[in-house]
Amino acid sequence: MFDEKYRPVHTACINPEKFPQVALYMQSGTNLVLYKPADRPITRADLQRLHNNQVEHLYINAGSIREVCDFLEESISEILASDEISGPVKGQLLSQVAMNYVMDVFEMPDKLSNLDRCRNLVRQLMQYIAGNPNPLEALHAVVNHDFYTFAHSVHVASLSLLVHAEVFGLTADELEDVGIGGILHDVGMIFVPSAILEKTDILTNFEYNLIKKHAERGYECLRELGGFSEISLAAVRYHHERINGEGYPFQLAGDEIPRTAQVTAICDVFSALTSNRPYKKAMGRSEAITLMEGVGKDVFSPRLLEKFKDVILSEGS
């Protein structure tokens, strides 16, 4: 696993005339090696060689993160409008920008107060999803599992936006609130010690109970900041409630659970099942939904799970 102080950058966004002049690293097996020092500009010939060798991501170190992330976020509208970048790559770049935001939130919780930044990213996600016949392939294929926690939040938001846009007659503002709730659904994890989050052994009851508090802690944090809608807050607070009343934090059942939270819960589990992890290979879409229909038949609303299935299995076909 790479040091979490390194972040991936898709080569498609590296414009030699505009990209910050920073050190760039390349993946070599399970390690990162220096590809270009900060004092040597990257050239179009470099980019062509990377393309020829099918290298899609380079990496930046801690000292360059802020500069490069600011560049990406400022450039994303221009990137999405470019005719020289394919739709799937645009989706990956947009996911990367949104993932950088989630990383910022986990590392610097004060960034949560910048709701306009989150809302703008969700609008970009909405526009991308609305304008592409098969958005999920790109939005899910962000980076490798080393950045799972952050990529997962973007995937859940994308899934939830897609389902709500296809199935429910929401206004644009309501869809934005759905996306914000999806991106921030696990924000309460910032209050869980990293040693517990990174633990690969079985959790103790004490550790598991600490993790179970993340939904309510996240809700309380956003409510205290103010400006977040009830739709967004419900997704954060109730996405671990289950229709059989065996979820948490309040053991709500059936329609006591807000619909957006029920959809977020489905997206949350589906994203986990269909993502590669160090200890688990990703399932295919159909396999994951079959499992959810079986094991989760008393956990998820059958009606909402069926709607989710219709959207996900028809998406891109």
Model pLDDT, residue 6: 83
- pLDDT of 208 over the 50 cut: yes
The pTM score is 0.86
Q: What is the pLDDT of residues 180-189, one digit of tens each?
A: 999 999 999 9
Per-residue pLDDT at 44 exceeds 70:
yes
Q: What is the pLDDT of residue 317?
A: 44
- Say what the pLDDT of residue 100 is: 85
8 Å CB contact between 214 and 191: yes
Q: What is the pLDDT of residue 140?
A: 61
Q: Residue 36's pLDDT is what?
A: 94
Q: If you average pLDDT over residues 210-226, what whole number do you get?
A: 95
CATH number for the domain running over 147-314: 1.10.3210.10
Find the Cα–Cα–Cα–Cα dihedral 215, 217, 218, 223, rounded to 10°.
120
Q: What is the pLDDT of residues 224-265, one digit of tens each?
A: 999 999 999 999 999 999 999 999 999 999 999 999 999 999
pLDDT(146) > 90: no
**Looking at the chain, which residues constitute the CATH 1.10.3210.10 domain(s)?**
147-314
Instruction: Give residue for tokens 């999803």.
Output: 129
Q: What per-residue confidence (pLDDT) applies to 257?
A: 97
Verify cis geometry, omega within 30 degrees of 0, for the bond prior to 41. Answer: no
Residue position matching structure tokens 């924000």? 187
